[in-house]
Amino acid sequence: MNVVDNLAARALELAKAELGPAAEIEVLAERERAALTRFANSYIHQNVADESARVTLRVHHDGRTAAANTSRVDDGGLRALATRVAAAARLLPADRLWPGLAPPASATGHGPVDQATAEATPAERAERVKAFVTAADGLAAAGYCGTTHVESAFANSAGHHLAGAYTEAAFDGVARATAGSTPADGVSRFASSRIGDIDGAALGTRAAGKARSSVDAAYLPPGEYEVVLEPEAVADLLAVLGMYCFNGKMFVEHQTYAKPGEAQFDPVLSIVDDPSAAGRPFDSEGTPKRPLDLVRDGVTTAVTHSRRTAAEAGAESTGHASLGSDVWGPIGTHLTIDAASDGAQSPAADVAAMVEGVQRGLLVTDIWYTRVLDPRPLIMTGLTRNGVWLIENGEVAGPVRNLRFTQGYPQALGPGRVLGIGRCAVTQPTHGFGYQSYRAPALRLASWRFTGGAEG
Amino acid sequence: MTHFDAATAAVEAALAAGARYADARAMERRDESMTARNGTVTALLENEDAGIGVRALVGSSWGYYAMPDLTPRAARAAGERAAEIAAASGSVPGPAVDLVPVEAQVGSWSSRCDEDPLAVPLSEKGDLLTSVTETAHRAGADVANAVYQVWAATTWLVSSAGHRIEQRVSKSGAGMSATAIGPDETQRRSYPSVRGQYGTRGWELVRELDLPANAERIAEESRALLTAPLCPAGETTLILGGDQMMMQIHESVGHAIELDRILGWEAAMAGTSWLDLRKLGSLRYGSELMNIVIDPTIEGALGSFGYDDEGTPAQRRDAVRDGIWVGVLAGRDSAAVAGLDYGGSVRADGWARIPMVRMTNVGLEPGPHSTEEIIGSTDDGVYMETNRSWSIDDKRLNFQFGCEIGWEVKNGKRGRMIRNPTYTGIGPTFWQSMDMLSRDVVAYGTPNCGKGQPGQVGHTGHPAAPARFQNVRVGVRA
């Protein structure tokens, strides 16, 4: 057993001693080493790293449920945790919806662990930043390079035990060309389990190229436009669908758009939550994670569940419990759109091919600050960012200024609305907030409703 | 027991490893939150953690390292690592870094807390949440939610410039919402504001909110909204309730005046700002009624403290005076870059995160009008309350907000309820159109301000009051 396994086992043993044999107990122990090198105005201005250890204990005793966690992982800290949770459980109102503990089951695999990423130094992150800045070739550069190594262990009083580990490396960078009063930004992002996959120079070259092609953007009146969305923008669609559309808690509350069994999306569209590429291989309740079809050939096939929401829905947990899922709901955090995967090497080729088919529309690199107006129809508002171009007669005609949109995401992906799916999907990091990544190809959509200019 | 020894050891180790400046925050925290839905507690989570975070300046480059261990040995290791990271930062160097001077502070500060929120029995807290959600559910809400959150933290800050500060801060708050589900949409009402009301206070704040007295009303309003007419589309006179003004201030003023954004330090993620430092002191931000103050000294407001996380004592400062932009939220290094002589707004989300420029309490001074006068003097307009959605561009210029509820205002009277009210605008144009402002200021607290990479959650306060704006585009929809 390693350190984290031992932590989980010890916490379970102490909680059993505190609560007695009748209590249902589960423990999640995690150790994380995370580092993030951040740059702006072409120099490193923030450079951080931290170590953390945390044990979370949840108990159901005498019809009541309580949970707590601590960073004090010595015996004294773990004993205090058990005492605290036991006291809380005695005082709370009854939990009528307790779903019971996860039964023993094996995980289908471990998350990817790359030793070089786990041991990455500040100098190695700085090297990639330097390569990005150099490739930006005089443009102002900003972004981050981050690495994470997480080890986890789960144990419960039903005899279930799992352990896993994973690494993540991520790069997110923009280059800014300035002409007149309106800066022109280009972006490139990439995430992998291996820091060796991160090519700062290639990312910087792409961001700088896009920034330069955005200079002197023109005003375009708002309205309905056909769009080609690059992977950065598509990642937002996936994040929003995971958060609101396929959220099992919102589903049992009748607040989601998803209706399993119905053809709600374009038949070319299949969406999968695939945790095999990243993250912990089991959820906070000890349910192993597996690839889950959410949409198959346009038909909604599932929503994401924890044990609690699954019990309410009369379904099985899909392995999406988290520490916050009783509040926010179980959320798919690794959604991907099935791409053709026919050996295409870059999303740039996908985008070029899609643009050729558009008579008049917009090429959108990124969308930003998207917020839900109503979760049920899933109407969102947000803005374009980091590059938007007018397409005319199959060619990029020139950059345009950022626009605000107000758009139902499922409607944009509905039957007959998806005109193309890129062959190459790229894993996108999520702004340094961790634990999520979305593998997105480019998409060509029949229409997108832009409701205003971003600058008035 | 204090942890000054650990913080001192960390600073000394960073200096020995080559830092020319270092500070360290040792910290112990506890927090607790509970949620209930339709009469049942759905989650209780208690967190306890302790650790130390060290910031080191080597040459003109920063490094930060944090560990969940308050022993002097671990603290020394954290100090050494912070200096090592700072040295690596120097391989992609920037301009010379200076820190605006602050007199070495030795002191302590505690927030006022009349009733320790962690000592209130969980049974009492659980009963409160289950009873209000049960009431709202019975009164017509399909989904009635309630939540409370409380935090208690003690920080020991030591710096190589001589700071030695102990701070104890307790925070409490609660809120509830009622959601009615229709065939094609949902309608929500919240009390006392979206996500609730929070402050640097004890459980007495939650008692004063009187959730039980409002549970039935919000349920009835959420159901009535399902069949209310849609918000009209077009340009009109807009009156915003105080709880929406809180969000308007936060997004279109608070973030815009963050100096790190203005300097480009957040360009890749949170974004920059439309504000240009060359116009500080002369730029017209809003009408003459607009007086925005940065004030971490307001007793009980959520963004209050005695010292910021660099050790600068809390100080009240104008951000907008008579509509002119005159101040920013700054830290000691960003202020030096900008040629300013003040910091005071640098805060961190716990010991594991680096301190950065954050809002404290940023809000409006009272206006000359009563809320009744504002409505009474409006012939034709829309009144909106309680935020439902918020979105703003990366320069903090173009915003679109949705509110939970609206009413027509005709001939000086509040008329029909309207659903799905939204409005959109451009910051300075909008603020310059403010022609009436209420004197009924409330210091709203918002506990969920996201910023930074790795992400940090900030707690900010916003004194706000109802106000009226002219020629605003409302009724934006898909």
Closest CA to B151 of B50, B44, B53, B48: B48
- Is residue A229 very low, low, confident or very high in pLDDT (cuts 50, 70, 90)? very high
Cα of B108 to nearest chain A Cα, Å:
26
Chain A residue at shortest CA distance from B355 = A46
% of chain B beyond a pLDDT of 90: 99
Which pLDDT belongs to residue A453? 83
C-beta of residue A272 within 8 angstroms of C-beta of residue A294: yes
Cα of A161 to nearest chain B Cα, Å:
22
Among B167, B191, B225, give the residue marking a domain's end. Answer: B225
Say yes or no: B299 and B214 in one domain: no
Q: Do residue B455 and residue A39 have CB atoms under 8 angstroms apart? A: no
Residues of A in contact with B136 (CB under 8 A): none
Total structural domains within chain B = 2
Q: Does A452 touch chain B (CB under 8 A)?
A: yes
Which is more confidently placed, A224 or A181? A224
Residues of B in contact with A122 (CB under 8 A): 63, 84-85, 88-89
pLDDT reading at A431 higher than 60: no
C-beta of residue A353 within 8 angstroms of C-beta of residue A174: no
Which pLDDT belongs to residue A9? 96
- Is residue A219 very low, low, confident or very high in pLDDT (cuts 50, 70, 90)? very high
On average, the pLDDT of chain B sits at 97
Q: How many CA atoms lie within 13 A of B215 on its CB side?
A: 25
Say yes or no: B383 and B466 in one domain: yes
- Is residue B405 very low, low, confident or very high in pLDDT (cuts 50, 70, 90)? very high
Say yes or no: B360 and B215 in one domain: no
Q: Does A328 touch chain B (CB under 8 A)?
A: no
Chain A residue at shortest CA distance from B145 = A327
Cα of A126 to nearest chain B Cα, Å:
7
Cα of A289 to nearest chain B Cα, Å:
23
* pLDDT per position as a tens digit, B353-374: 999 999 999 999 999 999 999 9
Say yes or no: B291 and B317 in one domain: yes
pLDDT reading at A456 higher than 60: no
C-beta of residue A173 within 8 angstroms of C-beta of residue A191: no
pLDDT reading at A157 higher than 60: yes
Say which CATH class A3-212 falls into: alpha beta
Closest CA to A370 of A228, A246, A240, A234: A240
- Is residue A275 very low, low, confident or very high in pLDDT (cuts 50, 70, 90)? confident
Among B225, B254, B284, give the residue marking a domain's end. Answer: B225
Q: Do residue B181 and residue A402 have CB atoms under 8 angstroms apart? A: no
* pLDDT per position as a tens digit, B38-69: 999 999 999 999 999 999 999 999 999 999 99
Which pLDDT belongs to residue A347? 84
pLDDT reading at A433 higher than 60: no
- Is residue A123 very low, low, confident or very high in pLDDT (cuts 50, 70, 90)? very high
Say yes or no: B64 and B108 in one domain: yes
Cα of B406 to nearest chain A Cα, Å:
15
Q: Do residue B269 and residue A431 have CB atoms under 8 angstroms apart? A: yes
Which pLDDT belongs to residue A258? 98
Say yes or no: B260 and B164 in one domain: no
B72-99 mean pLDDT: 97
On average, the pLDDT of chain A sits at 93
3-state helix, strand, coil in chain B (%, to 5): 25, 40, 35
Residues of A in contact with B266 (CB under 8 A): 40
Chain A residue at shortest CA distance from B422 = A373
Cβ within 8 Å of B, A 85-124: 85, 88, 91-93, 95-97, 121-123
* pLDDT per position as a tens digit, A239-253: 999 999 999 999 999
pLDDT reading at A223 higher than 70: yes
Chain A residue at shortest CA distance from B400 = A381
Residues of A in contact with B420 (CB under 8 A): 373-374
H or E element at residue A70 = strand A64-70
pLDDT reading at A385 higher than 70: yes
Q: Cα angle at A356 between A351 and A357, to 5 degrees? A: 105
Say yes or no: B193 and B241 in one domain: no
Cβ within 8 Å of B, A 179-198: 185, 187
Which pLDDT belongs to residue A426? 87
B112-127 mean pLDDT: 96
Which pLDDT belongs to residue B333? 97
- Is residue A181 very low, low, confident or very high in pLDDT (cuts 50, 70, 90)? low
Chain B residue at shortest CA distance from A49 = B65
* pLDDT per position as a tens digit, A93-104: 888 889 999 999
DSSP track, A132-153: HHHHHTTSEEEEEEEEEEEEEE
B281-300 mean pLDDT: 98
A442-450 mean pLDDT: 97
Among B196, B225, B254, give the residue marking a domain's end. Answer: B225
* CATH number of the domain encompassing residue B124: 3.30.2290.10
Distance between CA A43 and CA B39 in Å, rounded? Answer: 53
pLDDT reading at A343 higher than 80: no
**Residue A249 CA to its chain's centroid (Å):** 18
Q: Does A52 touch chain B (CB under 8 A)?
A: yes
Which pLDDT belongs to residue A279? 84
pLDDT reading at A427 higher than 90: no
B170-190 mean pLDDT: 97
**Residue B75 belongs to domain spanning:** 4-225
Say yes or no: B209 and B247 in one domain: no
Which pLDDT belongs to residue A108? 66
Predicted-assembly ipTM surpassing the 0.90 threshold: yes
* pLDDT per position as a tens digit, A75-91: 999 999 999 999 999 98
Q: Do residue A326 and residue B394 have CB atoms under 8 angstroms apart? A: no
Which pLDDT belongs to residue A111? 73
Q: Is B58 exposed, middle or buried (0-12, 13-18, 19+ CB in 10 A)?
A: buried
Q: Do residue B143 and residue A253 have CB atoms under 8 angstroms apart? A: yes
Q: For an interface test with A, which of B55, B89, B259 has the most A Cβ atoms less than 10 Å from its Cβ?
A: B89
Query: What is this structure's pTM?
Result: 0.96
**Where along chain A do its domains lie?**
3-212, 223-453
Say yes or no: B169 and B296 in one domain: no
B289-309 mean pLDDT: 98
